[in-house]
Amino acid sequence: MKLFPILIAALSPALCSPAHAWDAVPQKVADSVYVFVGDTGPRTATNEGMNATTGFVVTPAGVVVIDSGSSKHVAAKIEAAVRQITAQPIRYVINTGGQDHRWLGNGHFADQGIPVIASEKTAADIATRGGTWADGMAKRLGPAFAGTRVQGPTRRFATRKTLTLGGESIELIFAGGGHTPGDIIVWLPRQRVAFAGDLVFMDRLLGILPVSSVPHWLASFDALAALRPALVVPGHGTPAPLAKADKETRDYLARLRAHMKKAVDAGEDMQAAIATFDDKDFAYLPIYTELRGQNANRAYLDAETE
């Protein structure tokens, strides 16, 4: 399995600073594997809502796109970027989860008859919340969102599915979700590369949503770690070895969950639990100040339901 360490090193967080234009330049990180690294800051009109890391895999029989982007326009830019690398047709699109920039470009590909695949949980998530996500992105992007519609996956699976294309096996693994209910791992066994979607945040603090489940998230991360990937492509941030994902995602979640679970079990109120949570080891991460409070709040509420 061949990785491309010089390219990976070049994908520094400095290239992901907030509010740069999303230019859809694919960067090779392993044999036949390409990524688009988005901002580590918030979604903006300038970055076209693409504060996310996505990518694609090239095989001798076609291309698999991993996440369709934040709009029809972004999906078209992804397709054009694929064409810069290969003349092979796009055979499949995979949605790694239910957040907007993972699937709002689905219509562009579905209109061409390209199958769009996601977990059953993501399909249900899009059916429930897709309109809200689309309305929010439309307000953010304005005219750049024109022509985008809510389009869920055209194919779905429960827990595992293997795509075989051009001699490549691409494994789709649902281990419980986490950031959103249907988050999956896309595992490339030959390259030992895992696209982790929003199960992994690197180079910025992760965000816990109202629909997130910290226990499920940790279980999904354990499933990712069990694969022993040589490289993790996160949902946000720069591709890196598993050790960095472990430090910046799992360690944070595990510490937050343990603290809030202990507080709930002891009958401690939420504000006191938040005030005593020690997360200063993660203060170096972008968006720490903006997200730490909401994360602690939601982790406490999550612990109350365990």
Q: What is the pLDDT of residues 121-133, one digit of tens each?
A: 999 999 999 999 9
Confidence of residue 20 (pLDDT cuts 50, 70, 90): low
How many other CB atoms are found less than 10 A from the CB of residue 44? 18
State the average pLDDT for the chain. Answer: 93
What pLDDT is recorded for position 35?
98
Q: What is the pLDDT of residues 256-281, one digit of tens each?
A: 999 999 999 999 999 999 999 999 99
Question: All domains of the chain, ordered by start, with CATH?
Answer: 5-242 (3.60.15.10)
DSSP for 283-301? TTSTTHHHHHHHHHHHHHH
Dist CA 55 CA 67 (whole Å): 7
Q: What is the pLDDT of residues 39-96, one digit of tens each?
A: 988 999 999 999 999 999 999 999 999 999 999 999 999 999 999 999 999 999 999 9
What pLDDT is recorded for position 248?
98
Q: Are 160 and 173 in contact (CB under 8 A)?
A: yes
pTM of this structure: 0.93
> Does residue 6 register a pLDDT over 50?
no
With CA atoms as reference, report the closest residue to 51 among 83, 88, 13: 13
Q: What is the pLDDT of residues 179-191, one digit of tens each?
A: 999 999 999 999 9
